[in-house]
Amino acid sequence: MNNQVEILLVEDNPADAELTISALKDRKLANNLVHVWDGQAALDFLFGNGTHAGRDVKHQPKVVLLDLKLPKVDGISVLRQLRANEHTKELPVVVLTSSREDSDVIETYHLGVNSYIVKPVNFENFSQTVSNLGMYWLLLNEPPIVP
């Protein structure tokens, strides 16, 4: 299924979103990328609710790139709900945020995040990090098998 979503990008900042997508595109990793703008949209998509009602929730993305500072439902709440749900408990989630706060790191790992990446300030580093992320989770990592 070529149309299967591979990356769900949850990012409210248009500039950051464009840079991320651009970096992934450079590596040809953005072909099956879905971008949502807030936490509620992310949950709707993953659970097949609201505007994404009817989506086949058996087919989950290979990785969710999750920003923490989101409108409506913030990143940590999204993570908590994902981990509480049978279908999304093992879904690979990578927090991609500008926050370096200890509390955020602690809380997200406590909730079971797979990885925590601080967005580099420098664009070059940012590019490199994103493409590394994409390579790792899309090409290297073996996704979980949902029964």
Partner 1 sequence: MPLLRDLPIRRKLSLAMLGTTLVVLVAACGALLAYQYAASRKELARHLTAIADVLALNSTAALSFARPDDAKETLQAISAKPSIEVAGIHDETGALFATYSRDEGNTPFPATPEPDGVRFAPNHLVVVRPVTLDDKRLGTLYLRADLTEITARLRANAQIAGFVLLGSLALALVLSTVLQRAITRPISALTDTAKAIADTRDYAARAQKHGTDEIGTLTDTFNEMLAGIQERDSALSAENVARRHAEDEIRILNASLERRVEERTAELQTANKELEGFSYSVSHDLRAPLRAVDGFSRMVFDKYSVQLGEEGRRLLGMVRSETARMGRLIDDLLSFSRLGRQKMEVASMDMRALAQGVFNELAASEPERKVRFDLRPLPAASGTVAMIRQVWVNLLSNAVKFTKERETGEIEVGTQDGGKEGPIYYVKDNGAGFDMRYVDKLFGVFQRLHSAGEFPGTGVGLALVQRIVQRHGGRVWAEAEINRGATFFFTLSHPRA
| Contact footprint for partner 1 (CB under 8 A) | 13, 15-16, 18-19, 22, 98-100, 119-124, 126-127
Tally of CA atoms within 13 A in the half-sphere of 135 that contains its CB: 9
From the CB of 11, what's the least distance to partner 1, in Å?
A: 11
Tally of CA atoms within 13 A in the half-sphere of 32 that contains its CB: 14
Closer residue to partner 1, CB minimum distance, 89 or 100 = 100
From the CB of 122, what's the least distance to partner 1, in Å?
A: 6
What tokens appear for 74 in the block?
């913030």
From the CB of 1, what's the least distance to partner 1, in Å?
A: 32
Closer residue to partner 1, CB minimum distance, 47 or 126 = 126
Handedness of CA 72, 31, 88, 128 (dihedral sign): negative
- The amino acid sitting at 135 is M
Closer residue to partner 1, CB minimum distance, 91 or 96 = 96
